[in-house]
C-alpha cells in the first residue's frame, strides 16, 4: 500500500538530483497543446506518455502544456524546443509516436522529419 510518507523518499531523491542539475541545464522543452480540440483528438495520453517516459529515463527535459496551437485538424500537436530555441512541431501524435519522439529526439537528438508539420503541409 502506498502512503503519503513515500513522498519523503521521492523528495530526498529529487533534491539530490536537483543539486546536480539546474533548470538551465534542461536540454529540451516539450510543449503539448491541451485545448478542447487537442483533448478531443487524444492529447491527454500523449502528454502523460511523454511525462512518464521522461521520468523513467530521468531525462533533462521540461514538459509543459499550452492551449490551442491553432492547427485543429493536425492535433494532437507536440512542440520540441532545443536550448538554442529551435522548434520542431510534431503533428497527429499518438502514444506510439510520442514514445518514438522521446526515444529518437529527446534521447538521441534526431528530428523525426516524417512526423513534423512540414511533412503534412507539403
Partner 1 sequence: MDELALNILDIAYNSVRAQSTLILISIIDSEKKNMIEICIEDNGCGMDTDMVKKVTDPFYTTRTTRQVGLGIPLFKENAELTGGKFYISSKINHGTKVKATFIKDHIDTPILGDIVETMITLIQSNENIDYIFEYKNDDIDFMMKTSEMKDILGDVKINEPEVLLWIKDYMKEGLPK
Minimum CB distance to partner 1, residue 89 (Å) = 17
Minimum CB distance to partner 1, residue 7 (Å) = 4
Query: Distance between CA 89 and CA 91 in Å, rounded?
Result: 6
Of 21 and 119, nearer to partner 1 (C-beta) is 21
Of 52 and 100, nearer to partner 1 (C-beta) is 52
Of 38 and 90, nearer to partner 1 (C-beta) is 38
Cβ-based neighbours of 39, under 8 Å, separated by 6 or more: none
Of 41 and 91, nearer to partner 1 (C-beta) is 41
Distance of CA 51 to CAs 22, 35, 63, 71, 99, Å?
A: 19, 18, 7, 23, 10
- Side-chain half-sphere CA neighbours of 65 within 13 A: 13
Footprint on this chain of partner 1 (rule: CB under 8 A): 1-2, 4-8, 10-11, 13-15, 18, 34-36, 39-40, 44-45, 47-48, 51-52, 54-56, 63, 65, 67-68, 70
- Side-chain half-sphere CA neighbours of 78 within 13 A: 33
Amino acid at each position: 500500500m502506498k502512503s503519503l510518507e513515500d513522498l519523503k523518499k521521492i523528495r530526498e531523491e529529487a533534491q539530490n538530483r536537483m543539486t546536480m542539475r539546474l533548470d538551465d541545464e534542461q536540454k529540451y522543452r516539450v510543449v503539448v497543446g491541451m485545448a478542447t480540440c487537442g483533448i478531443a483528438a487524444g492529447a491527454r495520453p500523449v502528454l502523460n506518455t511523454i511525462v512518464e517516459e521522461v521520468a523513467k529515463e530521468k531525462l533533462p527535459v521540461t514538459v509543459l502544456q499550452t492551449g490551442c496551437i491553432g492547427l485543429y485538424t493536425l492535433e494532437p500537436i507536440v512542440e520540441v524546443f532545443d536550448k538554442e530555441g529551435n522548434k520542431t512541431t510534431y503533428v497527429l501524435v499518438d502514444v506510439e509516436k510520442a514514445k518514438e519522439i522521446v526515444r529518437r529526439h529527446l534521447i538521441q537528438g534526431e528530428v523525426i522529419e516524417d512526423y513534423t508539420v512540414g511533412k503534412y503541409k507539403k
